[in-house]
Structure 1
Amino acid sequence: MHAWEPLIGSWSSAGRTVERPGEPAVEIAGADVYAWGPGRRFVLHTVEVRMGEAQVEVHEVIGEPGGDGAVLMRSFDGHGGTALMRASRDAGGAWLFTGPTERARLVVDPHGRSMAAVWERSTDGGTTWEHWMDMSFRRTR
């Protein structure tokens, strides 16, 4: 779990979804917090953002072994939804978050002051992927 150290802290988050026919682009703004869990064996991730008019609150527990060096990310949202994703790193050190209908590539600035993520989603169960949103993060502490 040592590799998560650069993410530990508070971040302001901002982004925008991709406009699609019948689906306007939506602005995203809020905050993310990554904190160590018990024994530094888990990371606790809290998301509080507005996506357009919707308030989104998510709590995530990261760190359960997921095989092949990956860890599981279990999330719980304010609407009673749950999700399970896998986190791993690519050869360049970027984080890859992969779930059945969403995936992202997160790049952390080498100085630890910012991060950027590109999200994709699938509406057909993971066969076809489309660009969904772009997010940027600035460290606040």
Structure 2
Amino acid sequence: MKDKPLTALSAMERLQPFVGKWKTEGTIQAPNGMGMRLDAIDTYEWLPGGFFLIHHVDGRMGEDEVKAIEIIGFDEKDGMYVTTSYDNQGIVTNYKAQLHKLEWTIIGSTERFQGSLGEDGRTLTGVWELAEDGVEWKKWMEIQLTKY
């Protein structure tokens, strides 16, 4: 029997494990082969009504300060999560995402992420890849988020 399509609200309820404050640590692959450190606090909270999840980012990538806000919703037509991020450099980024069991996948035009939530819901570990030319994907960042 085929699964029923998710409604926006039922799909968003599946993101409940993300809600809370997370310590993010990782390594960024630099073009010269040297790794840079990534440290951040990521906070996820519901917009009242439960149709959108708000993600705040406050961190550092190497020497650079990173601040961002992301709004996550669900597109019933595509059956995928949709996100829009706004950062302190004036960059707006749109992604599509999927959650299959504990696997969280984010897909953008030049960036993508594949990660896994821990069984206890207290960790998220994964790899970001970058395709500056939109074709050839290269490892960009390895990250681990740990819930406070």
Deviation of 1:6 (Å): 0.6
Deviation of 1:101 (Å): 0.6
Deviation of 1:93 (Å): 3.3
Deviating runs (4+, > 4 A) in structure 1?
none
Contact 2:45 2:53 in 1 (8 A): yes
Identity %: 31
**Which of 115, 120, 128 is the equivalent residue of 1:119?**
128
Contact 2:73 2:83 in 1 (8 A): yes
Letter in 1 for 2:96: R
Match of residue 15 from structure 1: 26
CA distance in 1, matches of 2:79, 2:114: 17
CA distance in 1, matches of 2:78, 2:49: 22
Question: Deviations for 1:12-60, whole angstroms, at most 9, x for unmatched residues?
Answer: 000001243x353110012000111120110000111111100000100
Match of residue 107 from structure 2: 98
SS in structure 2 of the partner of residue 123 of structure 1? coil
CA distance in 2, matches of 1:39, 1:117: 30
Contact 1:94 1:105 in 2 (8 A): yes
CA distance in 2, matches of 1:93, 1:113: 12
Contact 2:26 2:142 in 1 (8 A): yes
**Which of 59, 67, 82 is the equivalent residue of 1:49?**
59
C-alpha RMSD of matched pairs (Å)? 1.5
Contact 2:26 2:38 in 1 (8 A): yes
Change (3 A) 1:83 1:5: same
Contact 1:66 1:72 in 2 (8 A): no
Residues 1:25 and 2:35 aligned together: yes
Structure whose alpha-carbon radius of gyration is higher? 2
CA distance in 1, matches of 2:99, 2:21: 21
CA distance in 2, matches of 1:27, 1:86: 26
Unaligned runs of 5+ in 1: none
Contact 2:68 2:87 in 1 (8 A): yes
